[in-house]
Amino acid sequence: MATSAQHATADTPRPFQWCPGEDVTLTVLETLIPRLAALRYEVPAQDLRISLQRIPTAPRSGFVMATVL
Ligand code: HEM
């Protein structure tokens, strides 16, 4: 998997602050997102309005899924 991070060596230290969790985070996301996108489920009635008064924001009901296959 190619990432944008330049790997540091003793001779070529990274020129910027870097997160050592980047590779594992990207691998987990690449594995998880297609599986989540392929789920079949129902969305029961709920309050999906998003408050602009909080950070980070989210739908008021969260996101309720039912009959997940
Ligand atoms: C979406 C997930 C993540 C984001 C957005 C993220 C973001 C960042 C950022 C921006 C920094 C640099 C902070 C700075 O010094 O200015 C950092 C550092 C760091 N991250 Fe992450 N990270 C994530 C996941 C992880 C994971 C999963 C791990 C470990 C398993 C991890 C371990 C670390 C460590 C140890 C540092 C400090 C590195 C150092 O200062 O030498 N991170 N992260």
CA distances to 10, 16, 42 from 66, rounded to whole Å, are: 52, 44, 5
User: Does the C-beta of 16 come closer than 6 Å to ligand 1?
Assistant: no
Decide: helix, strand or coil at residue 56.
coil
Structure tokens at 28: 């987990």
Confidence check: pLDDT of 15 > 90: no
Q: Could you give the CA distance from residue 5 to residue 23 in angstroms, rounded to a whole number?
A: 9
User: Does the C-beta of 19 come closer than 6 Å to ligand 1?
Assistant: yes
Which pLDDT does position 7 carry in this prediction?
59
CA distances to 3, 26, 43, 45, 63 from 51, rounded to whole Å, are: 34, 29, 20, 18, 14
Residue 65: name the closest of 51, 46, 50 by CA. Answer: 46
Confidence check: pLDDT of 52 > 70: yes
User: Does the C-beta of 24 come closer than 6 Å to ligand 1?
Assistant: yes
Q: What is the pTM of this model?
A: 0.67
